[in-house]
Structure 1
Amino acid sequence: MATELPAAIELRHRAHADPRASGDEEDTAALVVEALGAGEGVQVAKTGRAVLLPGSAGGPAVALRSELDALPVTERTGVAWASQSDLMHACGHDVHLAALVAVCRSAVEIGVPKPILALLQPREETSPSGAFDVVGSGVLAEHDVDAVIGAHVQPRLTQGVVSAAPGPVNASTDEFEVIVHGQGGHAGYPHLLRDPILALSQVVVSLQQLASRRIDPIFGAVCSIGRIQAGAAANVVPNHASAFGSLRLMRAADRDVALDALAEIVQGTAKAHGCTAELRISPCEPVLHNDPGLATRAQAWLARTPRIDVDTEFRSFGADDFAHYCGATRGLMMFVGLGDSAGAPSLHDERFLPQDTAVGLVANALIAGYLAAMES
């Protein structure tokens, strides 16, 4: 595979310099398909592609998945190949795509027994997700895919560490909107009003007990508010105030409990302040469960790979639509360490920029996943 890495890194730079938004990835897909050199494949999820590389023994295929889309982030890395638009590959998808190309081109060169389905997936960063549509398209069944393998860069792991943990490794996520309705008016006469901002502020504070007091701490939960919207003037209390957030869980059985508690806190807190409230839920991704057999066998292959240390426990309350593949067939998502140093840019940061060496590390993780699937 080493001979393919220079061209793969060049591809990474090209994709990084010219990113595309979720739902507008045709150009990126075409760039990667051209680099694969294995035909046009088929269109999936509107802007994605699936390209089949035959295996000498035939039989069920192993899908290797990489994501096409970038984020609405203005880049601040300063490299010569930085994006000049208001989009950025700030989640490592450019690295994943390059690694997939290196693996697939090597597989064609040396020949492999099981077919590989190169899955270039759109819309990982938005909802409804691209993975959900890929599964719904029937392309996995059409190519008799019995395992889907993915690998994601992770700055919270030390460089050279690859995690292949069995069971739940990424949280489910539901996004929600809270709208508190009150009685606005002059800020100098609060006794005549029903202040929706005060009520919403208490809702936000009270929601923090959802994770700490309603869900078993062994499994955990995260309830975060990312945006608050209210009013237009300092001396006017508005009639409405809104908050937007996400609820994340590591166990599917906790979802109904958490959503009931969310509604109870919102409605009860608003009522205590003389207001009413609406709660709107937008389901996004399920819990991502790694197949235990795939994870265990991948650990063994990773342990044989030079300059890679194996982690078997890393889990994240981030969410990934890869979870939909795990609900359709066997799935394995691995995490590839970039260096857990204090102050290092995180995923989705405007300064986030994995070193080019990450392409080889992600490629080795994909190979270990393929070999694990082939063994079974």
Structure 2
Amino acid sequence: MSRPQPATPQPATPPRVAPALHAALEEELDAAVALRHALHRDPRLSGDEADSRDLVLGALADVVPDGRTPDPVADTGAMVRLGAPAEEGTPAVAVRAELDALPVVERTGLPFSATGAAAHVCGHDVHVAALVAVVRAIGRAGADALPAPLLAVFQPREEKAPSGAADVAADPAFVAHRVGAMLGVHVQPELPRGTVSVRGGPVNASADEIEIEVHGRGGHGGYPHRTRDAVLALAEIVSGVHHIVSRRVDPMAAGVITIGQMTAGSAPNVVPETASARGTVRALDADRDEMLAAVRDVVEGTATAYGCTATLTVVPNEPAVVNDDALARTVAASLGGRRRDDRAGGNANGHGGRSGDADGAGEPTGLVLDTTFRSCGADDFSHYGDVLPSLMLFVGTTPAGSTPGEGPGLHHPEFSPDDAMVGEVARALLASVVAAGAALVATTAEPADPLV
């Protein structure tokens, strides 16, 4: 499927958030932090987000325009539109925030920590609270403070298939809103605090699960020549697939293969008949299909070399998140400030230099702009990019004095951004919404049909 491109050029003068709208957002942040605590304290897993959705809709009830009700989407999600109705043919800027938590037992020790077997250790509670603050601020200040309507999408099932984003993108209710640009944001501990990263092109990798099963001939551990050792064959397969990136992938392209689970045997003196492994194959700008084909070559060829047979099952998950170049340029210009990659001592990986502070940042976000960050993490936000121009931003969480990557990261039981991150994410979102809306209005061309 060809990726749609926006018809709008970058505005000559980067748009800024109206002072009244900026002030309204600041006034909403305390309530947004309280909402974040409520979501964090009582998380819901993928597919079971109805309670979280209802909590969000309750927080927005007094700013939804009269006569307009939120649209249900993807079973347990919801959408709220501010500004001109879709029936008038006005394209909207959509913002996605994820409702679901992970099946992890939290170890943060926070006073609002979750106590069950689910936890918001990926920052989704921050994303949702920030988007609620943005919607409420627009509702109070008036949607005419925006260049284009806003569609807030509270999406279920980001963490687990079937993909909530894929279901939203294909839902007729979403299509009817005539979305011209899609925005998302993610907190990122690989970036220093006070940084927002915006760039075009691939920023998150595709992610496919692989399941390998090796079949041999079992037997006695003292008579290995009578067996065909499935464990040995699997061990060589695991070693072999980890060499694929270094020898079968263009060194200028990014990809990674990880085997995270191996299972075999029932006793130390028995050569088992079967052995299995599971892992992931991720491609940022490496060729996804070529990587999977190489895995199959290694699995089947290595098993044969050891007198065994093997099967490879690929469970497709998410395509790569590819940011629209024009939308990225427009939003980056609106965020303003000195770029982090231009600052003394910085490098292409975003480490080093005077990172972690916000000097040189532009209004209204108070964040330093980074244009280098990307990772082999994955996100189902990629499905929006398959049907309309989309942009994922990343906001750093690592505090000054700490090195990104050393503390608890995404999905770790101790990961939890501090409450001030709600405001930082909200400011970045609001500035991006204004910029994207101005770009939509700047053209007389029709926005791409999301289904084309």
Mark yes or no: TM-score above 0.5.
yes
The alpha-carbon deviation at position 159 of structure 1 amounts to: 0.1
Question: Could you say which residue in structure 1 is the equivalent of 2:305?
Answer: 272
Question: Could you say which residue in structure 2 is the equivalent of 1:312?
Answer: 371
Find 1:140's aligned residue among 167, 174, 182: 174
The alpha-carbon deviation at position 197 of structure 1 amounts to: 0.8
The alpha-carbon deviation at position 196 of structure 1 amounts to: 0.7
Q: Does 1:60 align with 2:91?
A: yes
Task: Please give the root-mean-square deviation of Cα atoms over the aligned residues, in Å.
Answer: 1.5
What is the alpha-carbon distance in structure 2 between the residues aligned to residue 293 and residue 17 of structure 1? Answer: 39
What is the alpha-carbon distance in structure 1 between the residues aligned to residue 153 and residue 270 of structure 2? Answer: 53
Question: Could you say which residue in structure 2 is the equivalent of 1:364?
Answer: 427
What is the alpha-carbon distance in structure 2 between the residues aligned to residue 40 and residue 12 of structure 1? Answer: 23
Question: Could you say which residue in structure 1 is the equivalent of 2:104?
Answer: 73
What is the alpha-carbon distance in structure 1 between the residues aligned to residue 289 and residue 411 of structure 2? Answer: 29
What residue identity is the alignment partner of 2:189? P
1:174-193 alignment to 2 at 5 Å? 174-193=208-227
The alpha-carbon deviation at position 219 of structure 1 amounts to: 1.3
Are the aligned partners of 1:263 and 1:279 in contact in 2 as well (CA < 8 Å)? yes
Question: Could you say which residue in structure 2 is the equivalent of 1:227?
Answer: 261
Question: Could you say which residue in structure 1 is the equivalent of 2:49?
Answer: 25
1:199-210 alignment to 2 at 5 Å? 199-210=233-244
Q: Does 1:324 align with 2:324?
A: no
What residue identity is the alignment partner of 2:438? E
Equivalenced residues, count: 375
1:220-299 alignment to 2 at 5 Å? 220-251=254-285, 254-299=287-332
Question: Could you say which residue in structure 1 is the equivalent of 2:70?
Answer: 41
Are the aligned partners of 2:73 and 2:174 in contact in 1 as well (CA < 8 Å)? no
Range 338-347 or range 270-279, more displaced: 338-347
The alpha-carbon deviation at position 259 of structure 1 amounts to: 1.5
What is the alpha-carbon distance in structure 2 between the residues aligned to residue 360 and residue 55 of structure 1? Answer: 27
What residue identity is the alignment partner of 1:130? G
Are the aligned partners of 2:184 and 2:393 in contact in 1 as well (CA < 8 Å)? yes
Question: Could you say which residue in structure 1 is the equivalent of 2:15?
Answer: none
Unmatched 5+ stretches in structure 2: 1-24, 337-361, 440-452
What is the alpha-carbon distance in structure 1 between the residues aligned to residue 186 and residue 110 of structure 2? Answer: 22
What is the alpha-carbon distance in structure 2 between the residues aligned to residue 217 and residue 35 of structure 1? Answer: 49
The alpha-carbon deviation at position 301 of structure 1 amounts to: 1.7
What is the alpha-carbon distance in structure 2 between the residues aligned to residue 142 and residue 3 of structure 1? Answer: 32
Are the aligned partners of 1:58 and 1:115 in contact in 2 as well (CA < 8 Å)? no
Q: Secondary structure at the match of 1:66?
A: strand
1:36-185 alignment to 2 at 5 Å? 36-37=60-61, 38=64, 40-55=69-84, 59-112=90-143, 113=146, 114-185=148-219
The alpha-carbon deviation at position 160 of structure 1 amounts to: 0.6
Relative to the length of structure 1, the TM-score reads: 0.97
Identity percentage of aligned residues: 50
Are the aligned partners of 1:170 and 1:288 in contact in 2 as well (CA < 8 Å)? yes
Q: Secondary structure at the match of 2:398?
A: coil
What is the alpha-carbon distance in structure 2 between the residues aligned to residue 55 and residue 289 of structure 1? Answer: 29
The alpha-carbon deviation at position 18 of structure 1 amounts to: 0.3
What residue identity is the alignment partner of 2:434? L
1:340-359 alignment to 2 at 5 Å? 341-342=402-403, 343-359=406-422
What residue identity is the alignment partner of 1:17? R
The alpha-carbon deviation at position 62 of structure 1 amounts to: 1.0
Q: Secondary structure at the match of 2:435?
A: helix
Question: Could you say which residue in structure 1 is the equivalent of 2:340?
Answer: none
What residue identity is the alignment partner of 2:409? S
Relative to the length of structure 2, the TM-score reads: 0.81
Q: Secondary structure at the match of 2:423?
A: helix
The alpha-carbon deviation at position 58 of structure 1 amounts to: 7.2
Are the aligned partners of 1:17 and 1:82 in contact in 2 as well (CA < 8 Å)? yes
What residue identity is the alignment partner of 2:326? G
Are the aligned partners of 2:180 and 2:388 in contact in 1 as well (CA < 8 Å)? yes
What is the alpha-carbon distance in structure 2 between the residues aligned to residue 364 and residue 82 of structure 1? Answer: 25
What is the alpha-carbon distance in structure 2 between the residues aligned to residue 232 and residue 72 of structure 1? Answer: 28
What residue identity is the alignment partner of 2:416? L
The alpha-carbon deviation at position 45 of structure 1 amounts to: 1.1
What is the alpha-carbon distance in structure 2 between the residues aligned to residue 62 and residue 110 of structure 1? Answer: 17
List per-residue Cα deviations over 1:220-266 (Å, max 9, x = no partner): 210001111111222222111111011111237x1221121111000
Greater than 2 Å deviation, 4+ residue runs: 54-58, 304-307, 340-343
Range 107-116 or range 23-32, more displaced: 107-116
